[in-house]
Amino acid sequence: MRLGIARKTLLHLLLAIGGVAMILPFLWMVSTSLKPEREIFHYPPVWLPSAWQWGNYGRAMESAAFGQYFINTTIYATMVTVANLLLCSMAAYAFARLRFRGRDTLFVLVLGTMMIPAQVTMVPVFIMLKRCPLVGGNDWLGMGGHGLLNTYPGLILPAAVGAFGIFLLRQFFMTLPRELEDAARIDGCSEAGIYWRIILPLSKPALATLGIFTFTAAWNEFLWPLLITSKDSMRTLQLGLQVFQSQYTTRWDLLMAGTVVVTLPVLIIFLAGQRYFTRGIAMSGIKG
């Protein structure tokens, strides 16, 4: 689409105004993280601190074992993302392209589970993980120990596959034209080959999207890690941020500083993954 200069500037202006509204809360967050405590509750609000408290960031990170939390969260988020990308794409391929009895019913069933709020399934899953036989000190009946509580598998497995990912990828796979696959099938390529060599490469935008969403969601996940871990060595970053709040007071400056630090990795991942959103798909191979 070609646009004239005037249109381009107007566009940039509109987007910029909206953009300011988008990032205003973040500017506030950063501003608060750098203020001395007395200036936090000031009216009219103060944007620029009178004395820049860079030390808040250091103090925030020292308030708990954020280094360990960072490692835990990275492992958790990465593993969940990889598992989702792999398992959901395989399942989505089956739902989108292969025919078998019960396919549509199964898909509806999978979709249906998205409609049950996780809060009511947490207790059964917790008990299941705790009673997992032959791990964590359990005997073969699953009694006696802690099972998969306080472990990485316990964190990761319940989130390793999700209906959202299957749904997203299935919809996307359905938009891909069948000619490429039919040509490959005629050439004798197996289904696995088609999946790996044709479908996946063409689906980079959708996969990138799912990957970023899954990573972000896992990075920001709060309730499940809270319930499944009760050792400091297994906590995640979001749990670590809770250390700045108590019943009657909150250290807003440290909390904001901690939040900024915790948010940065996801932001970087998004910036790095940006190019997958802009890449055009080479569909020219179909013509002729």
By CB under 8 A, tell whether 184 contacts other proteins: no
Distance (Å, whole) CA 169 – CA 176: 11
When asked if residue 279 is in the footprint of other proteins (CB under 8 A), the reply is yes
Where are the alpha helices (H) located in the chain, listed in sequence order? 5-33, 37-40, 55-62, 66-97, 103-113, 122-130, 152-156, 163-175, 179-186, 191-194, 200-202, 204-220, 223-228, 237-241, 252-273, 275-278
Judged by beta carbon, residue 53 or residue 259, the one nearer other proteins is 259
Q: Pick the closer one to other proteins by CB: 81 or 158.
A: 158
Q: Which is nearer to other proteins, 71 or 185 (CB)?
A: 185
Out of 13, 22, 134, 272, which residue is the one contacting other proteins (CB under 8 A)? 22
Identity of residue 136 = G
Q: Is residue 216 a contact point for other proteins (CB under 8 A)?
A: yes
**Contact between 223 and other proteins per CB under 8 A:** yes
Q: Is 24 in the site for other proteins (CB under 8 A)?
A: yes
Nearer to other proteins, 6 or 120 (CB): 120
Binding status of residue 34 toward other proteins by CB under 8 A: no
Contact 198, 180 (CB under 8 A): yes
Binding of other proteins at residue 5 (CB under 8 A)?
no
Instruction: Determine, following the binding rule CB under 8 A, whether residue 196 of this chain makes contact with other proteins.
Output: no
CB of 183 to other proteins, least distance (A): 16
Nearer to other proteins, 41 or 152 (CB): 41
Name the token pair of 275: 């190019």
Q: Which is nearer to other proteins, 65 or 71 (by Cβ)?
A: 65
Distinct helix (H) and strand (E) counts, the chain:
16, 0
* Sites for other proteins among residues 113-172 (CB under 8 A): 113-117, 119-128, 130, 146, 149, 157-158, 160-161, 163-164, 166-168, 171-172
User: Interface residues for other proteins in 43-102 (CB under 8 A)?
Assistant: 43-46, 62-64, 87-88, 90-91, 93-94, 98-101
Q: Given phi > 0 = left and psi -120 to 50 = alpha, else beta, which region is 64?
A: beta
DSSP 154-208: HHHGGGSS-HHHHHHHHHHHHHS-THHHHHHHHTT--HHHHIIIIIHHHTHHHHH
Give CA–CA dist 82/60, Å, rounded.
31
Residues 286, 198 contacting (CB under 8 angstroms) = no
Applying CB under 8 A, which of residues 57, 66, 69, 195 lies at the interface with other proteins? 195
Cis preceding linkage at 49, omega within 30: no
DSSP secondary structure code for residue 274 in this structure: T
Least distance (Å) between residue 247 CB and other proteins: 5
Q: Which of 68, 74, 78, 263 binds other proteins (CB under 8 A)?
A: 263
Count of residues that bind other proteins according to CB under 8 A = 131
* SS3 at position 11: helix
Residue 71: CB minimum distance to other proteins, A: 18
Separation of alpha carbons 257 and 170, rounded Å: 40
Q: How far is the CB of 198 from other proteins (least distance, A)?
A: 15
274 binds other proteins (CB under 8 A): yes
